[in-house]
Amino acid sequence: MALAPALLAALASASVVMAPAAMAEAPVGSVIPRPAAVTPAEGTLVLSDATVLITPRGDAEALRAATYFADLMQRTRGLTLTVREGEAAPGAVVFRRAAETAADAYSLDVTPRGAIITAGDFGGLLYGSISLWQLATAETGQGAATIPAVAISDAPRFGWRGVMLDSARHYQSPQFIKGFIDWMALHKLNVFHWHLTDDQAWRLEIRRYPKLTEVGGWRVHAGAAAQKDIDPATGRPRLYGGFYTQDQVRDIVAYAAARNIVVVPEIDVPGHASAAIAAYPELGVTDVPGAAVPAVPADWGVYPTLFNVEEATLVFFENVMDEVVDLFPSEYVHIGGDEAVKDQWKASPRVQERMRELGLADEEKLQSWFVARLEKRLNDHGRRMIGWDEILEGGINPNASVMSWRGVEGAIEAARLGHDTVMSPAPVLYLDNRQSPDDGAPGRGFTSTLRDVYSFDPTPDVLTPEQARRVLGVQGNLFTEHMRTEDRVEYQAYPRISALAEMAWTPHARMDFADFRKRLDPQLARYRTLGIDYATIGLTEVPATPPADGQRRYDHQMKLCSAALPLSLIDDAPLAGKRPALLMDILNPCWIYQSADLSKGLRFEAAVGQVPFNFQIGADRDKIRLGAPRTPAGELEVRIDGCEGEPALILPLAEAAGNDGITTLSGQLPARPGQHDLCLKFTQKERDPMWGVDWVRVSDPAARRGDD
């Protein structure tokens, strides 16, 4: 699916020889992704209500692309453009077919006499019109748009330009999904990887097995607040969830296809199985104590729960795949295959007996056998299997493809073995990571900035040219454990998706972050016009200075004592409305307030809250060390210049323990000459709930404090 090297090289070369750099880029100073080749020309073209869009007679795809462009112009400029079939006219935008071009390639020629978009397929016609729309919206405003004359020859670097959205951990409405797909198309992205099943939910209606969604699509949120939220209809804690009917799925798939986007579904096996087993217990490992799943769980992390390997279970999933391929016409179906902890299989006498029956040496080979059965079913339907890089561990069939998430090593191994692969590595392309060290939003605690995403190269130098051709493309991932609302998904995705799109489309030789950053400003204006709730926190690379004494210093402005498993966690209260996010290393909840001036002694204030400890982290739970409490509710301890020894200040948590939200504690620190670091740690009996710090303020008790 990568662009033909000869064509890409020719376009990249052409872009270099076209006049001074500033002149060459002036006409496309607002186009993202950056086109492969640009030639500026003399004059301008005005698009107005009088402009006609002309398509070849009987060309339904050209008509669809022209109609899409007209709709964009109406939504963003307020123009009403006429679309008709026929011959070119002065000042018109003409959609024209080319005999042969690479997939999604196009040329766009703008002169004072009109514009011509030429392509061999629907994708190229659509993307040419999107580039023209970006030229027309380089400046904000309504009404007629003046476009500089230019000739663009463009084609994508990779054929797989994707985003994965996790709808299992948190559900998004079909309306939101369609809007998200629409925004993807505007970035020339073409694969929507839809994560539909996991431990916390099964979201896809399977008519043969209705309990997958009737039971598996619903759970009770973690935390005390959710347990107190009683549904009057049942007298039990309120269920959270939802699922996508097959009619809704067909509608979404068709909507995506109309925007040149393929929807690749993910049905995760043999791990991430809890929701399905809660619905159909016979699918689980039934002869291991503690393996039962009485209800869909709400913990994040990696569960030990696996599907069993009985013939009936394989038939169950073959039947599931039959319905999946009927709903999704994509070439690929994703089968997961990640994080399948084999403890239950190792402990199960029946699974071990089954391994002997099948002549398999170990549990990794057993997973490969499981996956191969489903792959054969997909192949029988003319489809191909793709899975996370763990599927390599027991060996896979030659035509299976690999999505590399544990760094780039899985993709390198797959390419060397002759498998097609998609680059999707953590942490850089995991868009649930924070966008800046100054980002206080909920999510994973690592940082993947706009520049980090832009600078990632999907074809490592260690690959030979032949192996590099096995890299189908690249994908950003939005796992939604910490995105409970749709606006939070938008915040995490944008504007980093612009960086992802350019990295996936533009020839590597044309990549230039400084130039991209200039072109991003008009893109952000488009986001505002379209109502995309993008993040502004990562747009500057100048590090923020921590607030001075006397002002609040939030958790992300302090230093974590360690970063083994850093997460920015959402408080479980209030049930409705905005909740604080508390940044901590859940294996070592400890914070450093740096450089406090203690020369006069200081009033110390800390806003603290509790978050559910809902994490499946296996043996790592035993690594968590919590100080022994002096009182039943525990304490916040503050130490000076170190985290051991006697605390300089002890603040009881009794008042805070009875509050579902944030509580402010206060006390007096002793005077010491100079500046000192303060170490904050909690004492508590149990891990759940876990205490966190929202903000800290140290101030001169004699000083008058204003709002901050």
Rg of the chain over Cα atoms, rounded to whole angstroms, equals 28
SS3 call for 592: strand
Contact 440, 555 (CB under 8 A): yes
Residue pair 492/441 in contact by the 8 Å Cβ criterion: yes
Q: Residues 323, 339, 409, 620: which is the catalytic one?
A: 339
The one catalytic residue in 272, 334, 419, 482 is: 272
CB-based contact 401:453 (threshold 8 Å): no
**Could you say which of 198, 439, 490, 555 is catalytic?**
198
* Cα-based angle 104, 105, 110 (whole degrees, multiple of 5): 125
Instruction: Give, in order, the Cα–Cα distances in Å from 175 to each of 329, 416, 616.
Output: 21, 41, 32
* Residue 198 bears catalytic tag: yes
Enumerate residues 6+ apart whose C-beta is below 8 A from 465.
5
Would you say 165 and 192 are in contact if contact means Cβ atoms under 8 Å apart? yes
The residue whose two tokens read 């991003």 is 520
Q: Indicate the SS3 state at residue 346.
A: helix
Active site residue 362: no
Distance, CA of 475 to CA of 483 (rounded, Å): 19
Joined tokens for residue 137 = 């919206």
Question: What does the H/E/C string look like for 227-295?
Answer: HHCEECCCCEECCEECCECHHHHHHHHHHHHCCCCEEEEEEEECCCCHHHHHHCHHHECCCCCCCCCCC
Alpha-carbon span 520 to 534, nearest angstrom: 12
For residue 268, give Cα distances in angstroms to 43, 91, 303, 581: 55, 52, 13, 29
272 is a catalytic site residue: yes
DSSP string covering 444-465:
EEEE--HHHHHH--SS-TTS-H
Supply the residues annotated as catalytic. 198, 272, 339
